[in-house]
Amino acid sequence: MIDDIIALASISSHSIDVEGLKKTEEHLVKIFSPLEGKIESIRLPDWKHLNKQGQWESFAQGNLFKIRQRPEAKVQLLIVGHYDTVYAKLFPIKVEGDRLFGPGVADMKGGIILFLHLLRWLENSHLKEQIGWEVMISPDEEIGSCGSRSHIEKAAVGKTIGLVFEPSMPSGSIVGKRPGSFTFVIEAKGKGGHAGRGAREGKNALVALAEVAVKLAELQDLDRGVIVNPAWILGGEAANMIPEKAVLVVNVRTATEKVNFQFILDDVSGKRGVSFNIIQEEGWRPPRNLLPKTQEYIELLGIRPEPSFGVSDSNILEAVGLPTLDGLGPTGFNLHTQDESLLISSLAPRFEKLKSFLSSLAYIS
């Protein structure tokens, strides 16, 4: 598997690198075609994004890769993954001891290769006629699955179980509960003017939004499963000008429901005379709290779950009622950093566990 993972990780596939995503999809077609399923390439809508200059940009996205085999079988698997990564540039792939380092090797190109090998095994096993499967590998999970979400939800209908091959936890556990997550952009509008002469009449939008950012951060409560991350703020033009406009980008993760922060905007607006407007809200993925059937499948798999503060497409699947196992990929470390790696020795045991799980699933479903 290692050579296959290295080959896939060697192709740049940042979420907005259209050429890299195209090459990656071509590679997916090449390696999945021998499974002889029906392959589809689904065009996704452009992604609208606020850049660091405060300008809105639209980016073309890659295609959603889909392959399906035996939709009439008794047991139906929906295997969901993503081939985009967070890395704008590739960095060296290397093996050091029991670790494979490289861009996306754990999140989640290692998982893609693991389930590719699992499907190869299935297609040559006596279980073949009892288990049908559909694979969906998206190019936009790292930016919220906004384009692929509706396709994933539609594919969940009529399936027995969802399987998500995000990396397992550093302990080797699969992933249990996940918070919900959404990102929003707040625009502040004050009154500009000269920093000196207009100081009395001016309403500094940047200062007001900075206060909002601090108050939002104070809502964070890890014990209740609430994470609030004011990610970046932008405003102002010159040192002698009072900023009339500013924008703030915030990500919120919560174990229950969306966080109410309107009272903060109202309070700061009344105090500083600055108006606020939420100009974009996207990527809401509801909390994953584990369906009762999911709990049964976890027991059947025999690997204990651990909660994670990350989100994945399993949030989407369980929200539409499909019991789903997540964190089925190899053990991963330091995701989204230059030190991202997977534990090489975790691949074979996970592969064997999944073979056993599918064998059991074929007879009890």
Q: What is the pLDDT of residues 295-316, one digit of tens each?
A: 999 999 999 999 998 999 999 9
Q: State residue 283's pLDDT score.
A: 67
At residue 306, the pLDDT reads 97
In this model, does residue 119 exceed pLDDT 80? yes
Both tokens of 219, joined, read: 């809502």
Q: In terms of Cα–Cα distance, which of 363, 344, 311 is closest to 114?
A: 344
Domain spanning 180-284: which CATH class is it, in words?
alpha beta
CATH code, 2-178+288-364: 3.40.630.10
Is 46:60 a contact under the CB 8 Å cutoff?
yes
Distance of CA 279 to the CA centre of its chain: 22
- Length in residues, the chain: 365
φ, ψ at 37 (rounded to 5°): -90, 175
In which residue ranges of the chain is CATH 3.40.630.10 found?
2-178+288-364
Say what the pLDDT of residue 282 is. Answer: 67
Mean pLDDT for the chain?
Answer: 94
Where does the chain hold its CATH 3.30.70.360 domain(s)? 180-284
**Ranges of H-type helices in the chain:** 2-9, 18-32, 110-123, 149-156, 205-217, 262-272, 292-301, 313-319, 347-364
Closest to 109 (Cα-Cα) out of 315, 314, 340: 340
Q: What is the pLDDT of residue 65?
A: 98
Task: With cut-offs at 50, 70 and 90, classify the pLDDT of residue 330.
Answer: very high
Half-sphere exposure of 9 (CA within 13 A, CB side): 26
How far is residue 143's CA from residue 361's CA, in Å, rounded to a whole number?
33
Q: Is the dihedral of CA 327, 329, 331, 333 positive or negative?
A: negative
Q: Check if the beta carbon of residue 200 is closer than 8 Å to that of residue 330.
A: no
Percent of the chain with pLDDT over 90: 86
Say whether pLDDT at 132 is over 80. yes
Query: Which residue has 């809502």 as its token pair?
Result: 219
